[in-house]
Each structure stands twice: as C-alpha cells, then as structure tokens.
A and B are shown apart, each in its own frame.
Chain A
Amino acid sequence: MTDAATLFGLCAAALVGIGVYALIVNPQPLRKIVAFNVVGNGVFVLFGAIAHRGAGAGWGGDPVPQALLITGLVVAFSATALAVTLLLRLFEEAGSATLAPDAPAPAKPDTSDG
C-alpha cells in the first residue's frame, strides 16, 4: 500500500519530467512558460508531499514548508506574469513571438537545417 505522500511525490516527479520535456521541445515561448509552470507545480507538490510526511502536533502537515509553499506560489505567479508581459511586448514590437535567431524567415535563403 502506498500512502498519499509517496503517491503524489511520484506524481510530482513525473510532472517535473513532463515539464522539462515540454520546455525543451516546444518552440513557442508561451508554451515554454506553461511548461515552466508544470515544472514548478511538480516541485511544489513534491515539497507538499514532504510537508505531509512531517505531519505532527495534530496537524496534517508540517506548517513551515506549507507556509513556504504559499510564498512560492505567489512568487511563481509574479514571475509568470512578468514573463507573459515581456512576451506580449516582444510580439507587439516585432510582430512575431518566436525565439528562433533568424526570426524573419522569408528573406533568408540560407537555411541550415537541424
């Protein structure tokens, strides 16, 4: 039998993996931001599972890591909001939202495939 902490701890490990894969593979910056959030969620759930293992004094979890998690969630939101705003401004200025170094593709005959 597996307890909730181990189950969701393993689930968190898988979430981090999914996020890392998406972060590398998806070319769109917005998808990378979502992927980064999935990695973050994985780390938070793992931390939450560890907090749950530290249950004591009549509480279902160790309150210290749980409080740090709330701080973490708020900071993650702030970072995401800043990243999204940067991306929207890039789109507004450049007319595209690509991270490719040779972004205006039409006028470039030189194509090094990879």
Chain B
Amino acid sequence: MTEALNVGLALVILALALWTVVARDTFAAVVGFVAYGLLLTLVWVQLRGIDVALTEAALGSGLTGALLIRAAARLRKTESAARAERPGVLTRIVALLAAGCVTAALAVAVLALPDPAPTLAPETADNLAATGVGNPITAVLLAFRAMDTMLEAIVVLFALVGVWSLAPDRAWGGRPGPLQRADPDGILAYLARALPPVGLVVGVYIFWIGADLPGGKFQGATILAAMWLLAVMAGLADAPPVSRTWLRLALVGGPVVFIAVGVAGAAYAGAFLAYPDGLAKPLIKVIEWALLPSLAVTLALILAGVPERTST
C-alpha cells in the first residue's frame, strides 16, 4: 500500500517537473514548481528526513516559490520576445542525449549502491549524549559539523550583501522593493492581520523544540520571515531602509556570536568551535538564540529585494 503511494508520488513529481519544462507560460511553470516543491516535502517524509521536510516546505518551496512567482510576474512583458528564440532541433536532440546520459549514469549508480550502506548513525548515537541535545540533526548541525553551519549562516548573509550591491546608486541605503499597496479591507490585509500571531507562535515553537525533536532555527526563522513579508505585502508594514544601524547589527549578530563562541572554543577547549565539557548544550543554545533573529531578518530582506526607494 505504502509502496503504491510512493510510486504514485514519484510519478506526480516527475509529471510536475516536466510541466515546469513544457509549460508555455513562465508564470504557470513557476506555480507548477511550487506545487512540486510541496510534494517533495512528502518525499522527505517518506525518506524519514522530517527536519529536511520542514526545511523544504518552508524554504525550498515556500520562500523560493514566492521569489520565483514575483519574478515571473515582473518579467511577464518579456514572454513574447522569449518565445521567438526557440532552440533548434539539433540543440534539442543534444540536450535530450545529455539529459539521458546523466539520468542513466545516476540510475546505474543508485542501483549499484553498496549494501550494507555506509552510515555514521551509530557514531552519532554514541556521541549524542556529549552534546546534551536530543535531536541528532541539531547535534550534527551545531556540534559535529558546526563549521558547516557557521559558513552557511555567512553564505546567507553574503547573498543579502550581493542583493543589496545591485541597488542603483540613487536608491542606495533606501527601502527595498516597491511600495506595497493592498485593499485595506481585502482578504490579503485580513490574512496579514490574522495569520502572524499564529505564525509567530508556530515559528518560535519549531525553533524551540529543535533541540530534541525535528525543527530548528532555519525552519523557525523562515516562518518568522514569511509572517513579516505577509504584513509587508499587505501594506500593513514597510521594509526598513537598509542603511539603519540596528538593522545591520541584527544581520551580523548571529554570525558574530557563532564566530565568538568558536574563538572561545579555540582558547578554552583546544579547537575552533570545540565546546568545553558540560557546556555544550548552553553554548548551542546561545548560538541558536543568536542565529534565529539574524536568519529571520536576513531571509526576509533577501526576499524584499534590492533597495529601490530613497529613504526619507
């Protein structure tokens, strides 16, 4: 029964992926991509990666979807011009061959995977107690592979710096994105008032339980960012000018605390990002609490986009 459901899920996902290729209208393709992302969440559940499923739903499908839909709406005027530059038959055949070769090579690799599969699960289980957290994913993210997570937080920050650096000179330091106006009695304004209280609780809850159960700062921060963006889209709030000092401090706060804990580890525990015995869990908590607001603000501002309005 589950197997039949899995096969059906795989087929629907492949069909939606094909839809994003063949759909004539880019907007329709992007909407298909969002639906496909939500179904991928179910694949992650089937592969027993609940933490990954939460991230996929919030970031992979949610925020990426919002980004792509807005871009598709803005680029609508270019649709007809783009249809003129269709690739030739030769290009299509070469593309088909390339795609077929890649898929065949990967499929052979999947079928030839070693049995029993190599795993680090027993090692993680053996050392989990030393970190004090119950969720093995959080232990890997913030203790065993903390360097990856630190660099990842910095990559997100760099993405925002990249987005901001595309601002036209006249708008530098101004507010990101166009001014949003929505019908104050419309459904968007209503949802932007009704949903954030629930969303804030859900976001903080997912962050809070992340130490012991599936969840964590990335998923929580994404939900918090989405709630703020909803209020901005409904015209109930406005994005702050990017030159504000408090904003800059909020952005770098998380990564700075992470690096500071890492340097302290080098001084007191013998290695960068090492935690002294017995202090692992409090230090992990400090990093998580510092990263949550920074990530939420960074993700929200990446979505808000390039500064376009001069600050007044």
Contact = CB atoms under 8 A, between A and B. Distances in A.
Interface of A: 1-2, 4-22, 24-28, 30-31, 33-35, 37-38, 41-42, 44-46, 48-64, 66-71, 73-82, 84-89, 91, 96-98, 100, 105, 114
Nearest to A48: B47
A47 B106 CA distance: 11
19 contacts: A10-B111, A19-B17, A21-B96, A24-B91, A25-B87, A28-B78, A31-B26, A55-B119, A63-B137, A64-B124, A64-B144, A67-B141, A69-B55, A71-B148, A75-B155, A84-B68, A85-B162, A87-B75, A98-B85
B119 A62 contact: yes
Contacts of A78: 155-156, 158-159, 302
Main secondary structure of the interface of B (DSSP, over half): helix
Contacts of B64: 37, 77, 80-81
A13 B110 contact: yes
A18 B148 contact: no
A73 B156 CA distance: 11
Nearest to A21: B99
Given A11-B14, A64-B145, A98 B162 contact: no
Contact of B140 (A1, A64, A80, A85): A64
Contacts of A71: 141, 148-149, 152
B160 to A, nearest CB: 8
Interface of B: 2-3, 6-7, 10, 13-14, 17-18, 20-21, 26, 29-30, 33, 37, 40, 43-44, 46-49, 51-52, 55-56, 59-60, 63-64, 67-68, 71-72, 74-75, 78, 81-82, 84-88, 91-92, 94-96, 98-100, 102-104, 106-107, 109-111, 113, 117-122, 124-125, 136-137, 139-141, 144-145, 148-149, 152, 155-156, 158-159, 162-163, 166, 216, 218, 299, 302-303, 305-306
Given A18-B18, A71-B148, A28 B122 contact: no
Which residue among A51, A58, A105 has the maximum number of chain B CB atoms within 10 Å of its CB? A51
A8 B124 contact: no
A97 B139 CA distance: 44
Given A6-B111, A71-B148, A88-B74, A63 B33 contact: no
A1 B6 CA distance: 12
A64 B149 contact: no
Contacts of B20: 22, 31, 34-35, 38
A40 B29 CA distance: 17
Contacts of B74: 88, 91
A10 B110 CA distance: 7
Nearest to B158: A78
Contacts of B91: 24-25
B79 to A, nearest CB: 8
Contacts of A89: 166, 306
B119 A56 contact: yes
Given A11-B13, A17-B99, A48 B43 contact: yes
